[in-house]
Chains A and B, each alone.
Chain A
Amino acid sequence: MPRAAVLIFAAALISGPLFGQQAMAESKSFVVTWFGQAMNSKDGDCGPEGPNPRWPEQRLKNARDLGYSAEEVEKMLKEDLRGDEGYEAGKIVQANVFRGRINGEAVNGYLYPSTVIDPKLRGLTGEKARFQYGFNLDGKVGDKDFEDPETHEKGVDSAFTRAMGCMPTFRGGLTPAAAPLEYAWAWAWKKEGRSAWIVTVTAGDLTRDGDATLTFDRAIERLRFNADGSPRSDSSYRIDPSPKSHNEYKARIKDGLITLADPGAADFSMVYNPEFIPVIRMTKVHIRLKVLPDRTIAGFLGGYERWDDLYIAYASGGKSNEDGNAGDLAGLYWLLRKYADHDPSPATGQMMAISATWNFYGIPAFAVKIEAPTASVHH
């Protein structure tokens, strides 16, 4: 039996050198069991017209916007439904896939979304949309800013939430059970195809107020599951030594809430899932998380993110994503572009980044530095 292949590490051995500099530090690690856009959808938060149309309805509207008359659209739909060419290869579908126009020529709308007529989808609006999760990233309290429903911090910048908040498949809440369809789909389908994320908190005494170190790392292993499909707590994960997914922050613990000591001063970069969002890249990062009595964590990650990263993530699945979960992809493009609120392009003035808030949950885990040479004990 290749016993050498099985590595055991005492928690004390990994906490200090890997995750922080504190002498006699206490360290707790957690494997992320949910990561999604932090949504807080409420009835009426999209104004009197309500959320944007669902895709089957929207694509008929898109066909009309392309110049087809209502009668022509109805005729095309009837022909499509009759199935002579197969519904999925029908005229309405094809019209939507190739709804981009370059010099009058129809082009793939997912590849060239800027050539698609802006369907002018709605974002969150009004008083009922006021409470959204996030952080005041720019230090200002503007008219369009939100208020965090937990911390009641004002001036919350989360334009990504505003942009997607009225897309039917992006509406929902925080927990996996209440999560928007888009993220529930992405997590359920992709979780076993991506390396787990590990969050580690290190401090002299994690139960007391004081300084701490907070790290986000990517593991070598995938998230491990119990026999019933639930994520398995207390499993061990080797930390990917690549710096691409190592994020280390000075943090503070205050009344059990862990926040960054210098919010907005650092970036965040984690390899995520090549089939969804390949890399989560954020600037001016804010984080807050709590260790809950059941040993799990719940937290939020905020910052500015390139919106073209997000568009590519949703659009990479093309028609199947549009049909199955995301909705009008070109419409998303225009929403993201419209609500982007950071990092103006020197050439065009177009904002290239959008303020975003993600929420995450985690369960206890062991983080193991794979270079660590010493097993705790051998017989």
Chain B
Amino acid sequence: MNDATNGKDRVTIYVGDVHAAAHPTEVRTLLGSCIAVCLFDPKQCIGGMNHFLLPEGSHAADEDPTRFGVYAIDDLIGKLMMLGADRRRMVAKVFGGAHVLGMRESDDGVPQRNVKFARGFLQDEGFKILAEDVGGYQPRIVVFSTCDGKARVKRLARSGMVERVARQHLSVPAEPPKFGDVTLF
């Protein structure tokens, strides 16, 4: 979903979406156990957000790769660099990983694996995590401003929102990304 208010674009992203912008944009998403990683280049004022379901997938041809963190973060980095961001300046914020949909807390549960993966990936890539709001039992709405890197988080009362999160997890992005093409010259 994409609309504009007060000269600032507003974009809502769903599971598997990745959005990067070089112009002022508010990117928002609703998270349960999923993770949203936000990356921002403070010099170029270029930022973006993704929304992934699980750390890694099975590489099946019909899977939407950016539903998985390993591709969703790499895709976000690539999109930001295409817009002129420098990865050496990028800083990160991480949100999500809540225990919703009846999930219990355990070290190998989806929320913990997601949080651990996001932190590990960003650390391996050398991105400083400036802020995070992860875990807990409540879904979150995250709004990230691409022009200044600020993020707002609203934790939601569980009733009603859990069903919304569940529906979202089953939804298909408007333009599902696929694994990349191969061209030999």
Query: Do these two chains really belong together in a complex?
Result: no
